[in-house]
Chain A
């Protein structure tokens, strides 16, 4: 099941030492006493580290790191579209549907994906591989139609190319810990 939040059954998450070092580095970018500013960045890291979505226990954990109330995290996380409030597939397809993309065929892309994957926009395939989301303008209108997958923009899409694109994505993302993408990658060069 993809659309049920399982309250209380999740293990308490824990950042790896490398992720924690990055989190601490980011907190220091804001003035003394203004550490709540680090909330959006840390939520991105948490989402990438803990399965591509923000479970209640993940959000509670982030609240404890920043020493703020859990509700302060919930209200923020639910405001912004990049944070998934439900579990997602290993590969999240975010297809732009706004005007300029629509002019160049984004509706066809979404329709093709819905048929091919047998799901509606907003749903996840039964095998847990793909989640399909329709999103608003991603500032790539000059390469429309397009979609975002993790850290990448896949641009100038066409229905003819979609099968190949899906195959490549499946190969890349059908692994135990798929890369959900983050503006703040946890890699050695960022841990200083």
Chain B
């Protein structure tokens, strides 16, 4: 059994309620921080913990906090990014739905560290039923003196609100989220200035993911140094992984970073192996925006070392032979999956979600969707395959926000690792007419067949 922090009390009956959560030791970090620590010492512990942002980019949380403009006399804001829209990711929803107080406790100590007196949880609007759950948790915390004016008799005051998005993946990007919270379209802003200096209402702002924030109380309770001992190398602590696709046990799992990928996929404690007794074909380990890898490269790095669930190991080999931990959206494909079809559904997603501000993203995502659909349905040409790579290259690095890259990488990676399958679609249009082509007869690589 790996170490559990975030989900250790998930099976305690009534843990959604303040009373039970408190009985299990909840809100101890608030007492500790407000009564015995300064905001800066809270930040120091988070720095020492080595915690890296759990929203996807993996930027060290303590360092991000230290960039917040503390000289300005404007109010400071903390926004919790609960937009969770990266395909394959559903851990934040799980945390908020079943452990609402874990997020509220994290919001209080994090807001204290940043000197924010008003904080918002920006939640995707589709989670309609979770709004009352969080609002109830906030009211309970307030009734117990953990929110409001002069909390626990100190001179610190905090108001916490849940804010609803309207359905737009792009609002997960932090500057789009700020625009959206201001009641506007979710168009990402040019950076700099960074939100730490000019954020919500022009004030210094930090945006952090739900899981990052919910981890802070654990860091304060055990101390940053102790937290840093969990995990492996610079991948400290535990991480929630959302496991989906062709596995026996899809769901949210808390792992200690450094767990071998093979164990995560095949052990009964986690995914429980591939469904229907089939073989695994590929995996997207960190949400739809990260590169797909074939099984061989997923289980072992190009150097032949076992691949581990950590920031470093998953990206070992760069994009040539590696991927990324991203948001921890772990999507597994069995041998009947069609990589072209899958890549097309993602291209359609990014095209649909592009905010349209930059032409490489707006036009490029649409173009990739069209070309992929053409290939998938047996109407493609051989030159289309290189065209895809070319369009992806032209988007990458040429846009205001990283959505462009997120759209380009998966396409480039699919062609990089599964070019033969794309060629098959062009070569045998009759065989791919049925959308379920590989379900009846899995694709077999001719190159590999010859090699074996």
Residues of A within 8 A of B (CB): 29, 31, 34, 36-41, 43-44, 72, 75-77, 79-83, 97-100, 102-104, 107, 135-144, 148, 150-152, 181-185, 190
Contact = CB atoms under 8 A, between A and B. Distances in A.
B169 A136 contact: yes
A137 B250 contact: no
A102 B127 CA distance: 21
20 contacts: A41-B164, A43-B166, A44-B166, A76-B184, A77-B166, A79-B166, A79-B168, A80-B167, A81-B168, A98-B346, A98-B349, A100-B331, A103-B245, A136-B169, A140-B93, A141-B244, A142-B243, A151-B129, A152-B129, A185-B132
A136 B87 contact: yes
Find the residue from A75, A83, A152, A183 having the highest chain B CB count within 10 A: A183
Contacts of B123: 183
Contacts of B182: 34, 36-37
B76 to A, nearest CB: 13
A103 B342 CA distance: 8
Interface of B: 75, 84-90, 92-93, 118, 123-129, 131-132, 159, 161, 163-169, 180-186, 201, 242-246, 250-252, 284, 288, 329, 331, 333, 337, 341-342, 345-346, 349, 352-353, 435
Given A40-B164, A99-B87, A99-B288, A139 B125 contact: no
Contacts of B242: 141-142
B166 A37 contact: no
A40 B345 contact: no
Given A141-B329, A152-B129, A82 B245 contact: no
A38 B180 CA distance: 10
Contacts of B353: 136
Nearest to B118: A31
Given A37-B181, A98-B345, A139-B89, A148 B244 contact: no
Nearest to B346: A99
Contacts, number: 152
Nearest to A143: B250
Given A99-B87, A181-B128, A136 B352 contact: yes
A140 B90 contact: yes
Find the residue from A79, A97, A190 having the highest chain B CB count within 10 A: A79
B118 A141 contact: no
Q: Which 8 A-B pairs have the closest CB atoms?
A: A80-B166, A82-B167, A36-B183, A81-B167, A39-B183, A141-B244, A142-B250, A137-B87
A159 to B, nearest CB: 13
B126 A148 contact: yes
Contacts of B85: 136-137, 139
Given A37-B181, A43-B166, A181-B128, A100 B352 contact: no
A75 B345 contact: no
Given A29-B161, A75-B185, A97-B345, 16 more contacts: A31-B75, A38-B183, A40-B163, A40-B165, A76-B166, A80-B168, A98-B345, A103-B337, A104-B246, A136-B169, A136-B349, A137-B288, A139-B90, A139-B126, A152-B129, A185-B132
Contacts of A79: 166, 168, 185-186
A172 to B, nearest CB: 15
A107 B86 CA distance: 20
A183 B288 contact: no
Nearest to B86: A137
Nearest to B84: A139
Contacts of B186: 79-80
Contacts of A81: 166-168
A183 B168 contact: no
Nearest to B136: A189
Find the residue from B124, B163, B346, B353 having the highest chain A CB count within 10 A: B163
Contacts of B288: 98-99, 137
Contacts of A190: 132
B296 to A, nearest CB: 20
B342 A102 contact: yes
Find the residue from B84, B128, B167, B185 having the highest chain A CB count within 10 A: B128
Contacts of A136: 85, 87, 169, 349, 352-353
A79 B127 CA distance: 18
B164 A184 contact: yes
B94 to A, nearest CB: 8
Given A99-B349, A136-B352, A141 B129 contact: no
Find the residue from B123, B126, B185, B337 having the highest chain A CB count within 10 A: B126
Nearest to A76: B185
Contacts of A143: 250
A144 B331 CA distance: 12
A141 B164 contact: no
Contacts of A150: 128
Nearest to A187: B132
Given A82-B167, A141-B250, A184-B164, A100 B183 contact: no
Nearest to A78: B185
Nearest to B353: A136
A103 B278 CA distance: 14
A36 to B, nearest CB: 4
B87 A82 contact: no
Contact of B127 (A34, A98, A144, A183): A183
A149 to B, nearest CB: 11
A82 to B, nearest CB: 4
Contacts of A152: 129
B166 A82 contact: yes
A150 to B, nearest CB: 7
A37 B169 CA distance: 19
A182 to B, nearest CB: 6
B201 A34 contact: yes
A83 B167 CA distance: 8
